Protein backbone atom coordinates (compact mmCIF):
# COMPACT_ATOMS: atom_id res chain seq x y z
CA UNK A 1 0.00 0.00 0.00
CA UNK A 2 3.00 2.31 0.35
CA UNK A 3 6.15 2.98 2.34
CA UNK A 4 7.03 4.23 5.81
CA UNK A 5 9.79 6.74 6.56
CA UNK A 6 11.18 8.34 9.68
CA UNK A 7 11.09 12.13 9.68
CA UNK A 8 11.88 15.31 11.61
CA UNK A 9 8.92 17.59 12.22
CA UNK A 10 10.51 21.03 12.08
CA UNK A 11 7.72 22.82 13.93
CA UNK A 12 7.17 20.32 16.77
CA UNK A 13 10.87 19.31 16.80
CA UNK A 14 10.03 15.64 17.26
CA UNK A 15 10.75 12.50 15.28
CA UNK A 16 7.73 11.05 13.50
CA UNK A 17 6.89 8.17 11.18
CA UNK A 18 5.45 9.16 7.80
CA UNK A 19 3.44 6.66 5.79
CA UNK A 20 3.13 7.38 2.08
CA UNK A 21 0.44 5.81 -0.03
CA UNK A 22 1.54 3.96 -3.15
CA UNK A 23 1.64 6.51 -5.98
CA UNK A 24 -0.18 4.40 -8.56
CA UNK A 25 -2.94 3.46 -6.11
CA UNK A 26 -3.37 7.11 -5.12
CA UNK A 27 -4.12 7.98 -8.75
CA UNK A 28 -6.04 4.94 -10.02
CA UNK A 29 -7.72 3.35 -6.99
CA UNK A 30 -10.26 5.62 -5.32
CA UNK A 31 -11.26 2.95 -2.78
CA UNK A 32 -7.63 2.55 -1.68
CA UNK A 33 -7.36 6.32 -1.29
CA UNK A 34 -10.52 6.43 0.81
CA UNK A 35 -9.20 3.61 3.02
CA UNK A 36 -5.94 5.49 3.50
CA UNK A 37 -7.91 8.55 4.61
CA UNK A 38 -10.11 6.33 6.76
CA UNK A 39 -7.07 4.91 8.54
CA UNK A 40 -6.05 8.43 9.57
CA UNK A 41 -9.56 9.44 10.62
CA UNK A 42 -10.31 6.29 12.62
CA UNK A 43 -7.02 6.22 14.55
CA UNK A 44 -7.20 9.96 15.25
CA UNK A 45 -10.64 9.55 16.84
CA UNK A 46 -9.40 6.98 19.38
CA UNK A 47 -7.65 8.49 22.38
CA UNK A 48 -5.71 5.60 23.90
CA UNK A 49 -2.08 4.86 24.75
CA UNK A 50 -2.69 1.50 23.08
CA UNK A 51 -3.57 2.92 19.65
CA UNK A 52 -0.87 4.55 17.54
CA UNK A 53 -1.20 8.36 17.64
CA UNK A 54 -1.95 10.21 14.39
CA UNK A 55 -0.28 13.63 14.19
CA UNK A 56 -1.22 14.80 10.72
CA UNK A 57 -2.69 13.79 7.37
CA UNK A 58 -2.41 15.52 4.02
CA UNK A 59 -0.77 15.56 0.59
CA UNK A 60 2.72 16.62 -0.39
CA UNK A 61 3.53 19.07 -3.17
CA UNK A 62 3.14 16.31 -5.80
CA UNK A 63 -0.29 15.30 -4.50
CA UNK A 64 0.98 12.16 -2.75
CA UNK A 65 -1.13 11.34 0.35
CA UNK A 66 0.80 10.92 3.57
CA UNK A 67 0.03 10.07 7.17
CA UNK A 68 2.25 11.31 10.04
CA UNK A 69 2.28 9.13 13.16
CA UNK A 70 4.21 8.80 16.40
CA UNK A 71 7.54 7.07 15.83
CA UNK A 72 7.88 3.87 17.83
CA UNK A 73 10.84 1.74 18.82
CA UNK A 74 10.20 -1.96 18.88
CA UNK A 75 8.79 -4.59 16.57
CA UNK A 76 5.45 -5.98 15.50
CA UNK A 77 4.03 -8.98 17.30
CA UNK A 78 4.36 -10.87 14.02
CA UNK A 79 8.12 -10.22 14.00
CA UNK A 80 8.41 -11.30 17.64
CA UNK A 81 6.58 -14.57 17.00
CA UNK A 82 9.12 -15.55 14.35
CA UNK A 83 11.55 -15.91 17.28
CA UNK A 84 9.30 -18.34 19.15
CA UNK A 85 6.04 -18.46 21.08
CA UNK A 86 5.36 -16.30 24.13
CA UNK A 87 4.97 -17.35 27.74
CA UNK A 88 1.78 -16.75 29.70
CA UNK A 89 2.93 -13.44 31.24
CA UNK A 90 3.90 -12.00 27.86
CA UNK A 91 0.63 -13.16 26.29
CA UNK A 92 -1.28 -11.67 29.21
CA UNK A 93 0.31 -8.28 28.49
CA UNK A 94 -0.52 -8.48 24.79
CA UNK A 95 -4.15 -9.49 25.39
CA UNK A 96 -4.97 -7.05 28.18
CA UNK A 97 -3.37 -4.00 26.56
CA UNK A 98 -4.92 -4.80 23.18
CA UNK A 99 -8.27 -5.11 24.95
CA UNK A 100 -7.80 -1.64 26.42
CA UNK A 101 -7.15 -0.22 22.95
CA UNK A 102 -10.15 -2.05 21.49
CA UNK A 103 -12.35 -0.86 24.35
CA UNK A 104 -11.61 2.76 23.40
CA UNK A 105 -12.07 2.03 19.69
CA UNK A 106 -15.43 0.33 20.24
CA UNK A 107 -16.55 3.15 22.54
CA UNK A 108 -15.81 5.53 19.64
CA UNK A 109 -17.98 3.39 17.36
CA UNK A 110 -15.10 1.82 15.41
CA UNK A 111 -14.52 -1.88 14.65
CA UNK A 112 -10.98 -2.66 13.51
CA UNK A 113 -11.84 -5.87 11.56
CA UNK A 114 -8.21 -6.88 10.98
CA UNK A 115 -6.73 -7.70 14.39
CA UNK A 116 -3.68 -9.88 13.80
CA UNK A 117 -0.02 -9.99 14.94
CA UNK A 118 1.04 -7.82 11.99
CA UNK A 119 -1.19 -4.98 13.26
CA UNK A 120 -0.10 -5.17 16.90
CA UNK A 121 3.13 -3.38 17.76
CA UNK A 122 5.33 -4.00 20.81
CA UNK A 123 6.69 -0.56 21.62
CA UNK A 124 9.68 -0.31 23.94
CA UNK A 125 9.38 2.58 26.37
CA UNK A 126 12.35 4.81 27.29
CA UNK A 127 12.38 3.22 30.76
CA UNK A 128 12.67 -0.29 29.35
CA UNK A 129 9.01 -1.28 29.68
CA UNK A 130 6.68 -2.36 26.89
CA UNK A 131 3.44 -0.92 25.54
CA UNK A 132 1.15 -2.63 23.05
CA UNK A 133 -0.09 -0.42 20.19
CA UNK A 134 -2.82 -1.22 17.66
CA UNK A 135 -2.43 0.27 14.19
CA UNK A 136 -3.66 0.00 10.59
CA UNK A 137 -7.35 0.96 10.70
CA UNK A 138 -7.55 0.84 6.89
CA UNK A 139 -10.57 -1.50 6.79
CA UNK A 140 -12.21 -0.28 9.98
CA UNK A 141 -16.01 -0.13 10.12
CA UNK A 142 -18.19 2.30 12.04
CA UNK A 143 -21.20 1.38 14.12
CA UNK A 144 -23.47 3.27 16.49
CA UNK A 145 -22.09 6.67 15.46
CA UNK A 146 -22.55 9.34 12.82
CA UNK A 147 -19.15 8.83 11.20
CA UNK A 148 -18.90 7.14 7.81
CA UNK A 149 -16.13 4.67 7.12
CA UNK A 150 -17.92 1.64 5.67
CA UNK A 151 -16.22 0.96 2.36
CA UNK A 152 -17.29 -2.65 1.82
CA UNK A 153 -20.48 -3.97 0.34
CA UNK A 154 -22.85 -6.46 1.92
CA UNK A 155 -21.46 -9.98 1.70
CA UNK A 156 -17.91 -8.85 0.96
CA UNK A 157 -15.15 -10.53 2.95
CA UNK A 158 -12.31 -8.21 3.88
CA UNK A 159 -9.50 -8.88 6.33
CA UNK A 160 -7.12 -11.76 7.02
CA UNK A 161 -9.19 -14.97 6.82
CA UNK A 162 -7.30 -17.12 9.32
CA UNK A 163 -7.92 -14.53 12.09
CA UNK A 164 -11.55 -13.87 11.16
CA UNK A 165 -14.62 -14.66 13.20
CA UNK A 166 -17.19 -16.99 11.56
CA UNK A 167 -19.62 -14.15 10.84
CA UNK A 168 -16.89 -12.01 9.25
CA UNK A 169 -15.54 -14.92 7.18
CA UNK A 170 -19.00 -15.41 5.62
CA UNK A 171 -19.43 -11.70 4.96
CA UNK A 172 -22.28 -11.34 7.45
CA UNK A 173 -22.88 -8.13 9.43
CA UNK A 174 -20.35 -7.79 12.24
CA UNK A 175 -20.06 -5.87 15.48
CA UNK A 176 -17.29 -5.30 18.02
CA UNK A 177 -17.31 -8.97 19.03
CA UNK A 178 -15.57 -9.94 15.78
CA UNK A 179 -12.46 -8.05 17.01
CA UNK A 180 -12.57 -10.03 20.26
CA UNK A 181 -12.68 -13.34 18.38
CA UNK A 182 -9.68 -12.27 16.27
CA UNK A 183 -7.77 -11.30 19.42
CA UNK A 184 -8.55 -14.76 20.81
CA UNK A 185 -6.92 -16.30 17.72
CA UNK A 186 -3.92 -13.99 18.26
CA UNK A 187 -3.64 -15.19 21.87
CA UNK A 188 -3.84 -18.82 20.67
CA UNK A 189 -1.01 -18.07 18.25
CA UNK A 190 1.09 -16.36 20.95
CA UNK A 191 0.89 -19.24 23.42
CA UNK A 192 1.02 -22.20 21.02
CA UNK A 193 2.98 -20.97 18.02
CA UNK A 194 0.13 -22.31 15.86
CA UNK A 195 -3.23 -21.19 14.46
CA UNK A 196 -6.54 -23.00 15.01
CA UNK A 197 -7.17 -23.99 11.36
CA UNK A 198 -3.72 -23.70 9.86
CA UNK A 199 -4.05 -27.06 8.06
CA UNK A 200 -6.64 -25.69 5.60
CA UNK A 201 -5.35 -25.84 2.03
CA UNK A 202 -7.60 -23.20 0.44
CA UNK A 203 -9.48 -20.10 1.54
CA UNK A 204 -12.76 -21.92 0.97
CA UNK A 205 -11.69 -24.83 3.15
CA UNK A 206 -10.52 -22.36 5.80
CA UNK A 207 -13.84 -20.47 5.82
CA UNK A 208 -15.80 -23.73 6.19
CA UNK A 209 -13.54 -24.81 9.07
CA UNK A 210 -13.93 -21.47 10.86
CA UNK A 211 -17.72 -21.66 10.53
CA UNK A 212 -18.33 -25.39 11.10
CA UNK A 213 -15.43 -27.10 12.88
CA UNK A 214 -14.46 -26.85 16.52
CA UNK A 215 -10.98 -25.35 16.94
CA UNK A 216 -8.35 -27.74 18.30
CA UNK A 217 -7.76 -27.40 22.04
CA UNK A 218 -4.64 -25.41 22.81
CA UNK A 219 -3.48 -28.40 24.90
CA UNK A 220 -2.64 -30.02 21.56
CA UNK A 221 0.41 -27.75 21.55
CA UNK A 222 0.88 -26.83 25.22
CA UNK A 223 0.26 -28.99 28.27
CA UNK A 224 1.36 -26.51 30.94
CA UNK A 225 -1.48 -23.97 30.86
CA UNK A 226 -3.90 -23.52 33.80
CA UNK A 227 -7.36 -25.02 33.41
CA UNK A 228 -8.94 -21.55 33.62
CA UNK A 229 -6.94 -20.46 30.56
CA UNK A 230 -8.24 -23.45 28.61
CA UNK A 231 -11.81 -22.50 29.56
CA UNK A 232 -11.12 -18.91 28.48
CA UNK A 233 -10.09 -20.10 25.00
CA UNK A 234 -13.19 -22.28 24.70
CA UNK A 235 -15.38 -19.23 25.27
CA UNK A 236 -13.47 -16.68 23.20
CA UNK A 237 -13.52 -18.96 20.12
CA UNK A 238 -17.23 -19.82 20.21
CA UNK A 239 -18.98 -19.79 16.82
CA UNK A 240 -22.00 -17.90 18.15
CA UNK A 241 -21.13 -14.29 19.07
CA UNK A 242 -23.73 -14.37 21.87
CA UNK A 243 -21.72 -17.12 23.59
CA UNK A 244 -18.43 -15.19 23.51
CA UNK A 245 -17.31 -12.29 25.66
CA UNK A 246 -19.61 -9.38 24.90
CA UNK A 247 -17.10 -6.57 25.27
CA UNK A 248 -13.36 -5.96 25.59
CA UNK A 249 -13.54 -5.16 29.31
CA UNK A 250 -15.21 -8.48 30.10
CA UNK A 251 -12.67 -10.35 27.98
CA UNK A 252 -9.72 -8.62 29.66
CA UNK A 253 -10.96 -9.14 33.21
CA UNK A 254 -11.69 -12.80 32.51
CA UNK A 255 -8.16 -13.32 31.20
CA UNK A 256 -6.78 -11.59 34.30
CA UNK A 257 -8.61 -14.10 36.48
CA UNK A 258 -7.68 -17.06 34.29
CA UNK A 259 -3.97 -16.20 34.41
CA UNK A 260 -4.08 -15.28 38.12
CA UNK A 261 -1.74 -12.43 37.20
CA UNK A 262 -1.22 -9.40 39.42
CA UNK A 263 1.63 -7.00 38.68
CA UNK A 264 4.64 -8.14 36.72
CA UNK A 265 7.57 -6.87 34.72
CA UNK A 266 7.38 -8.37 31.23
CA UNK A 267 10.40 -8.70 29.00
CA UNK A 268 10.41 -9.86 25.39
CA UNK A 269 13.67 -11.76 25.13
CA UNK A 270 15.39 -11.93 21.79
CA UNK A 271 14.24 -8.46 20.77
CA UNK A 272 15.93 -7.11 17.67
CA UNK A 273 15.39 -3.95 15.66
CA UNK A 274 14.87 -4.63 12.00
CA UNK A 275 17.73 -2.84 10.28
CA UNK A 276 17.16 -4.49 6.92
CA UNK A 277 14.05 -2.49 6.01
CA UNK A 278 14.50 -0.87 2.59
CA UNK A 279 14.62 2.90 2.44
CA UNK A 280 13.99 5.16 -0.55
CA UNK A 281 17.02 6.51 -2.35
CA UNK A 282 16.05 10.16 -2.03
CA UNK A 283 17.45 11.89 1.06
CA UNK A 284 14.55 14.34 1.44
CA UNK A 285 10.97 14.76 0.28
CA UNK A 286 8.94 17.97 0.41
CA UNK A 287 5.59 17.44 2.14
CA UNK A 288 4.04 20.79 1.24
CA UNK A 289 4.12 24.28 2.68
CA UNK A 290 1.20 23.60 5.01
CA UNK A 291 3.27 21.16 7.08
CA UNK A 292 7.01 21.93 7.36
CA UNK A 293 8.66 18.53 7.59
CA UNK A 294 11.86 17.21 6.14
CA UNK A 295 11.86 13.47 5.57
CA UNK A 296 15.15 11.65 6.03
CA UNK A 297 16.06 8.27 4.62
CA UNK A 298 16.37 6.23 7.80
CA UNK A 299 15.38 2.99 9.47
CA UNK A 300 11.68 2.26 9.88
CA UNK A 301 12.16 1.90 13.59
CA UNK A 302 14.05 4.65 15.32
CA UNK A 303 13.84 6.76 18.44
CA UNK A 304 11.15 6.08 21.05
CA UNK A 305 8.21 8.47 21.29
CA UNK A 306 8.09 11.22 23.84
CA UNK A 307 6.31 9.90 26.97
CA UNK A 308 2.73 11.16 27.32
CA UNK A 309 2.23 14.18 29.52
CA UNK A 310 -0.18 13.86 32.44
CA UNK A 311 -3.52 15.59 31.97
CA UNK A 312 -5.79 17.15 34.56
CA UNK A 313 -8.92 15.18 35.46
CA UNK A 314 -12.27 16.60 34.36
CA UNK A 315 -13.85 19.13 36.76
CA UNK A 316 -16.35 16.54 38.00
CA UNK A 317 -13.49 14.25 39.07
CA UNK A 318 -11.48 16.86 40.94
CA UNK A 319 -11.72 16.90 44.75
CA UNK A 320 -13.83 19.70 46.15
CA UNK A 321 -12.21 22.07 48.58
CA UNK A 322 -14.27 22.42 51.76
CA UNK A 323 -14.64 25.92 53.07
CA UNK A 324 -13.53 26.11 56.64
CA UNK A 325 -15.90 27.70 59.22
CA UNK A 326 -15.01 29.09 62.69
CA UNK A 327 -12.30 27.13 64.44
CA UNK A 328 -13.20 24.67 67.17
CA UNK A 329 -11.30 26.71 69.83
CA UNK A 330 -13.42 29.80 69.17
CA UNK A 331 -16.61 27.76 69.46
CA UNK A 332 -15.49 26.28 72.80
CA UNK A 333 -14.59 29.71 74.22
CA UNK A 334 -17.94 31.12 73.11
CA UNK A 335 -19.72 28.27 74.86
CA UNK A 336 -17.82 28.85 78.08
CA UNK A 337 -18.66 32.56 78.01
CA UNK A 338 -22.36 31.79 77.60
CA UNK A 339 -22.23 29.17 80.35
CA UNK A 340 -20.52 31.49 82.89
CA UNK A 341 -22.80 34.36 81.91
CA UNK A 342 -25.84 32.19 82.57
CA UNK A 343 -24.62 31.27 86.03
CA UNK A 344 -23.90 34.93 86.91
CA UNK A 345 -27.34 35.96 85.71
CA UNK A 346 -28.97 33.28 87.80
CA UNK A 347 -27.16 34.41 90.99
CA UNK A 348 -28.10 38.03 90.37
CA UNK A 349 -31.77 37.16 89.99
CA UNK A 350 -31.67 35.06 93.17
CA UNK A 351 -30.41 38.03 95.18
CA UNK A 352 -33.21 40.25 93.93
CA UNK A 353 -35.93 37.91 95.19
CA UNK A 354 -37.56 38.94 98.57
* pLDDT tens digits along 243-279: 999 999 999 999 999 998 644 556 555 444 333 333 3
Q: What percent of the chain has pLDDT over 70?
A: 64
pLDDT (0 to 100) of residue 329: 56
Q: What percent of the chain has pLDDT over 90?
A: 40
The residue among 1 and 68 whose pLDDT is bigger is: 68
Domain with CATH 3.30.200.20 in the chain: 2-72+273-296
**Closest C-alpha among 56, 194, 74 to residue 132:** 74
User: Measured between alpha carbons, how far is 47 from 67 in angstroms, rounded to an integer?
Assistant: 17
Torsion-angle region of 113 (φ positive above 0: left; ψ -120 to 50: alpha; else: beta):
left
Does the active-site annotation cover 114?
A: yes
Q: Which CATH class is domain 75-259?
A: mainly alpha
- In which band, very low, low, confident or very high, does the pLDDT at 144 lie, cut at 50, 70 and 90? very low
Residue 302 phi/psi, 5-degree rounding, is: -135, -130
Domain with CATH 1.10.510.10 in the chain: 75-259
Q: With a cut of 80, say whether residue 226 has pLDDT above it.
A: yes
User: Measured between alpha carbons, how far is 262 from 344 in angstroms, rounded to an integer?
Assistant: 69
| Residue 77 burial (CB count, 10 A) | 23
Q: Is 158 exposed, middle or buried (0-12, 13-18, 19+ CB in 10 A)?
A: middle
The one-character DSSP state at 11 is: T
User: Measured between alpha carbons, how far is 331 from 48 in angstroms, rounded to an integer?
Assistant: 52
Q: Which CATH class is domain 2-72+273-296?
A: alpha beta
* Mean pLDDT over each residue of the chain, to the nearest integer: 75
Whole-prediction pTM:
0.69
Catalytic residue among 56, 114, 136, 179: 114
**Is residue 194 helix, strand or coil?**
coil
Amino acid sequence: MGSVWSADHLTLRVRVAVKFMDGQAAVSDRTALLRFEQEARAAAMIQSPHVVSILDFGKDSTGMPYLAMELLQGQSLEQRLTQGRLDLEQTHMVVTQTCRGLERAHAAGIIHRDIKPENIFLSQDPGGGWTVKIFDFGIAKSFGSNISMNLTGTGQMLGTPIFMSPEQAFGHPVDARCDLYSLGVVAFNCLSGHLPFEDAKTVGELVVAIAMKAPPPITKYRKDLPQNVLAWFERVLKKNPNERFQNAREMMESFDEACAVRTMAVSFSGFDVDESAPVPSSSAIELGAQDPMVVEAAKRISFPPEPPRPSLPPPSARPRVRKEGPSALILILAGLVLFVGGIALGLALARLRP
